[in-house]
């Protein structure tokens, strides 16, 4: 295992030009608390909204329709 792997883009999953141990002050497209964007995703701009959901919610809700309802419920709770 490499001690300083290449960072993956948090949106598209492609390799970025940065390594894990590169300091965030010297990166472009790093979102604190989320991770690194590749140049392509970063260049699309910041007019995007994202939310995170707990991994166990996905794991413990095998029915996709039910999962969608739970995600939408979390969305509306945080919009208030």
Q: Return the pLDDT at 60.
A: 95
At 4-57, the pLDDT tens digits run: 999 999 989 999 999 999 999 999 999 888 899 999 989 887 666 777 889 999
Q: Note the pLDDT of residue 80.
A: 74
Residue with tokens 């290449």: 6
Supply the DSSP string of 16-38, one letter for each residue.
Answer: EEEETTS-GGG-SSEETTTEEPP
Checking DSSP bridges between strand 15-19 and strand 30-31, what pairing results, if any?
A: unpaired
Place of tokens 């590169």: 22
> Mean pLDDT, to the nearest integer, of 56-63?
93
Q: Residue range 57-65: average pLDDT? A: 92
The pLDDT assigned to 31 comes to 87
Domain extents in the chain: 6-43, 49-80
| pLDDT score for 1 | 52
In this prediction the pTM is 0.56
């Amino acid at each position: 295992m490499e001690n300083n792997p290449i960072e993956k883009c948090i949106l598209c999953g492609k390799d970025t030009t940065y390594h894990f141990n590169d300091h965030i002050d010297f990166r472009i497209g790093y979102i604190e608390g989320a991770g690194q964007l590749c140049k392509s995703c970063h260049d699309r701009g910041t007019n995007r909204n994202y939310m995170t959901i707990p991994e166990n919610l996905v794991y413990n809700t095998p029915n996709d329709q039910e999962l969608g309802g739970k995600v939408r419920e979390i969305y509306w709770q945080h919009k208030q």
